[in-house]
Amino acid sequence: MSLYSKYRPRNFRDLVGQDHVAQTLERALEQDKLSHSYLFCGSRGVGKTTVARILAQGANCSAKKEKPCGKCRGCLTVAKGSNSDILELDAASNRGIDEIRSLREKVQFAPSFGRYKVYIIDEVHMLTKEAFNALLKTLEEPPSHAVFILATTEAHKVPATIVSRCQRFDFHRATTKSVLELLSKVVQAENIAIEEEGAVLIARAADGAYRDALTLLEQISLNVVAGKEEQAISADTVRAKLGLIAEPLMWQLLTQVAGTKKEEAIKTLYKFIEQGADWRFIVNSLLEKLRHALFFAIAPSVVTADLTAQEKKYLALLAKTMKEEGIVKLINLLLQAQEQLRYASLPEVPVACALARYFDSASPASLKTAITPKATVPQKEKTSLAESGEKEAVAISEQVWGKIVEAVKENNSTLAGLLAQSQPYLASGNLIIEVPYKFWEERIKNSKNNKAICKAACQVLGEAIKLALPKPNGAIKKTLNEAMRQEDKAIKDEIADVFG
Ligand SMILES: [Zn+2]
């Protein structure tokens, strides 16, 4: 007997995750107020047929309370499968009018020994139009001893005329948490040793279906038992069985991206290439993880049972290092890559580009903060180069710099042309100008030129500018990188912690 049949709930008490359905039906049985037709809606594997069988058994149970009792004659015949008053029809394979006609004829006969004849029609939306019409006639005037239970995964395909005749119940999709509850119950009863993380992975792979969870558990445990003895099923074994081997590598990639470890991230990407990875699957998985990270960054409490303890640790790290803004940026870049993947002959290229662009945007030089004319500029007493405070350097936006260059151009167009090709920053009341060629430094240091630049900058920014300090290309970026490195040290230590 499969684990699923063995642990299939036999009464409403054992039912997991469908309390709203169980309570109403249990009460109807106790008060003897059964409806003639029910419609059970919900995705596959959530227990619709199981509940239909419990209800059918309860209808013919002679106990006073807690039906079905499992002990009376009615209940025992159901358990043995010899109860001729409960009939099941799978509409997926019996769609036509003939089946429904024969059902209509049979339904006229009284039940053989119970009070009700119960018809369970599974996947009822599959019936043909004629079959539905025939069924409708029966539902409109049912014999007093008939109960119809119609089950469907696609309620919108059931004609409204049928739906309006039925008492409708919508079954909830199983949450990972309730699947986990069921798994832990079965694991205990069956003496199966499995790592907690492995159980979470199975529960998640079951995607809302209890039946799938137990089937997966069974397959994996059989395999393991046949292979090695007396060993707990590890999370890695589960990953291998579920085709999730790439998972740890994906987390590694994301934490490297978060820590702006460009080179290492590209090396990890290369490992995927070596493994002949399915890039669509990988991009999808990365997006799913980032979606969790985004939720974690905004509302940590919504991230719950779906994740293993290790995954939560990774998410906390991503949320902390990338922040909401960085996560959104990477999600957008990967969404673009996902689109490009459809046409790419080398599928790793869009992904590599997405990462490169993310790193590029995460570098300090590109954080072009627009400075409004009245922006406060940090003031300091000393103006020497060494103490001019590049750590506080703020890039001047292209727009603002354009205005300054224009003002210079009025008196000195050569100087303006040179400035237009330089990169400006503000730090401690000084204008720091990164020049592409070393010999331009002298042109800026020239006292007449320097005064002209400061005057123009002062006009545009509305702040006193002490000096224009020329710097070789890349100097500011390096200084900023160094400052960021120090600030981020704590965060990077945490990354090291996660990887042990
Ligand atoms: Zn009974």
Q: Identify which of 366, 322, 356 has the alpha carbon closest to the alpha carbon of residue 476.
A: 366
CATH topology of domain 3-170: Rossmann fold (3.40.50)
Q: What is the pLDDT of residue 225?
A: 60
Tell me, in angstroms, the distance from the centre of ligand 1 to residue 148's CA. Answer: 20
Strand partners, 433: 424, 470
Tell me, in angstroms, the distance from the centre of ligand 1 to residue 80's CA. Answer: 13
Residue 110 CB-half CA count within 13 A: 4
DSSP 8-state assignment for residue 386: G
Tell me, in angstroms, the distance from the centre of ligand 1 to residue 100's CA. Answer: 29
Tell me, in angstroms, the distance from the centre of ligand 1 to residue 277's CA. Answer: 55
Tell me, in angstroms, the distance from the centre of ligand 1 to residue 69's CA. Answer: 4
Tell me, in angstroms, the distance from the centre of ligand 1 to residue 73's CA. Answer: 7
Kindly give the parts of the chain with pLDDT less than 50. Answer: 365-389
DSSP 8-state assignment for residue 155: G
For 247-362, give the CATH class.
mainly alpha
State the Cα–Cα distance between residues 39 and 152, nearest whole angstrom.
8
What residue segments make up the domains of the chain, in order of their start? Answer: 3-170, 176-242, 247-362, 385-483
pTM of the model: 0.59
Tell me, in angstroms, the distance from the centre of ligand 1 to residue 498's CA. Answer: 55
Q: What is the pLDDT of residue 387?
A: 42
Q: What is the pLDDT of residue 35?
A: 95
Strand partners, 87: 119
Tell me, in angstroms, the distance from the centre of ligand 1 to residue 163's CA. Answer: 30
Query: Does CATH number 1.10.8.60 belong to domain 176-242?
Result: yes
Strand partners, 88: 120
Q: Is 213 helix (H, G, I), strand (E, B) or coil?
A: helix
Tell me, in angstroms, the distance from the centre of ligand 1 to residue 30's CA. Answer: 12
CATH topology of domain 385-483: GMP Synthetase; Chain A, domain 3 (3.30.300)
